[in-house]
Chains A and B, each alone.
Chain A
């Protein structure tokens, strides 16, 4: 499982990014909802990021910040079908317009 490697890299990134002029670090997230079975482990572990909508439809926030990082990592690790993919790369996408809105 690449989880350990991933966690180290993520930690490194958050430390590095914590400079004074940086805005708050935002991380990206997607859930493979074909795999997701609505077991809701993630909802218990990171309720600010994951929620159930009705009986078993999962809604997630595709972006979360550092304050949620540990919880999201735990949720991703706990998901019984490994449906949660968290950002693995902080490579810049050259040529992209900055965020608006």
Chain B
């Protein structure tokens, strides 16, 4: 079926295959049906569960306020799909237009959506990673296991990496009354995502809530006892701490290995696609039958210098899936671009943290509302004289305003009249992001350069 001419046939009787049956996959499927796609729809997912919601896994679920198995996503409508769950896609044959499954089956497609997301970066030492008491947190099962463990007799939890997930785990542990040490290689929690100025606020917050926070420190080894239970962690400053639980929160890895050799531009930084979610091949030529959405995708954004953005954001998965689905069954002129403004939330230590835009692009920062010292504020990030992002601690009601400012390319620093300031200086300061060439685990927005087929290897740290 050629791209545009047979769109009507495609809509009526085409075969659409979605690989990755999670948030992006489900929302895409619903959109396809909503827009009148009546052909066959196959959902392939390696997890044995119907699509579920991940954000509660590090929040409500650890606190015992929701069971991890109760997080199945609500459906917007029936999707009349054939579900192939519990089996991974193992390869893509673009010539034959089919997906090969791990069990040897093949599934032919006219349009393919890749929504295979990310997985937790495992502890670098496999034997240590296998110790009883060492956890990662990405899936329903991970969350259930960790929650069970935390509910038992635990003396001290070590959280390795103070990005969003690590910080949320630490927060839940404190709320459960557990002793917790957080080891972060960077200078402060959340530094990769929000910079050192806001990181310092997160730092104070953690300590105030009783976290034994150690920044500028790596975990060098995890030590078990004779029966394989975690007992001790060794740190880069030469010290050691006795712990029986370690939660490895070193960020995510994109699930692209299954596409090796397929010729699509897929690598450790994600799958490159155009603003219409169409995947590039390694030659930088856009395909017309393969689409990508969600955590696994990276695509150019005009507001951010047309750099390819990779977003590990719930809202992005939803929006990009809708655009991809729409474009899959539309002719050229009806296609829409994915120009969503990155948006993210996290709740930890009783604070609602939100961001809009791409803070890590910021070269300057002002505190526009509230005060850092009160842990209640909105920080606005500027990039070359325009507003590029905003982040709030318990200031969600302001973010809609800054969303408009970013979209409009409003000048930075913001006009004084938009600003309610009391204690801080209004002079823009350096937001203090770590050197972008150094790896961080905190960022959930990654600027991945300009080249669609770039397959630069991501920096994989040998130590935490």
**Which of B9-17, B79-87, B450-458 sits within the interface?**
B79-87
Q: Which of B50, B66, B351 is A54 in contact with, Cβ under 8 Å?
A: B351
Chain A residues near B258: list those with CB within 8 A.
none
A91 to B50, CA, bound (A): 12
Chain B residues near A30: list those with CB within 8 A.
53, 73-74
**Interface size, chain B (Cβ < 8 Å):** 47
A55 to B56, CA, bound (A): 18
Interface residues of B in 76-109 (CB under 8 A from A): 76-80, 82-86
Q: Which of B73, B315, B351, B376 is A28 in contact with, Cβ under 8 Å?
A: B73
Q: Is the CB of B352 within 8 A of A54?
A: yes
Chain A residues near B394: list those with CB within 8 A.
54-56
A47 to B56, CA, bound (A): 18
Q: Is B152 an interface residue (CB 8 A)?
A: no
- The 10 lowest CB-CB distance pairs between A and B, nearest first, are A54-B350, A57-B347, A89-B75, A57-B352, A28-B74, A63-B70, A87-B74, A93-B50, A91-B78, A95-B83
Q: Is B304 an interface residue (CB 8 A)?
A: no
Q: Which of B48, B82, B347, B352 is A97 in contact with, Cβ under 8 Å?
A: B48
A94 to B82, CA, bound (A): 7
Interface residues of B (CB under 8 A from A): 48-50, 53, 55-56, 59-60, 63, 65-67, 69-80, 82-86, 144, 314-315, 318, 343-345, 347, 349-352, 354, 376, 394, 396-397, 400
Q: Is the CB of B69 within 8 A of A97?
A: no
Q: Is A99 an interface residue (CB 8 A)?
A: yes
Q: In angstroms, how far is the closest chain A Cβ from the Cβ of B316?
A: 10
Q: With A34-B344, A56-B352, A63-B70 as known contacts, state yes or no: A96 contacts B50, CB within 8 Å.
A: yes
Chain A residues near B82: list those with CB within 8 A.
94
A27 to B344, CA, bound (A): 26
Q: Is A86 an interface residue (CB 8 A)?
A: yes
Interface residues of A in 60-97 (CB under 8 A from B): 60-63, 85-89, 91, 93-97
Q: Which of B71, B75, B350, B354 is A88 in contact with, Cβ under 8 Å?
A: B75
A60 to B349, CA, bound (A): 17
Q: In angstroms, how far is the closest chain B Cβ from the Cβ of A72?
A: 11
Q: Is the CB of A60 within 8 A of B86?
A: no
Known: A89-B76, A91-B80, A97-B86. 14 other contacts (CB 8 A): A26-B70, A27-B74, A33-B55, A33-B345, A38-B352, A38-B397, A55-B350, A61-B70, A62-B72, A87-B75, A88-B75, A93-B85, A95-B85, A101-B144
Q: In angstroms, how far is the closest chain B Cβ from the Cβ of A19?
A: 21
Q: In angstroms, how far is the closest chain A Cβ from the Cβ of B414?
A: 20
Chain A residues near B350: list those with CB within 8 A.
53-55, 57
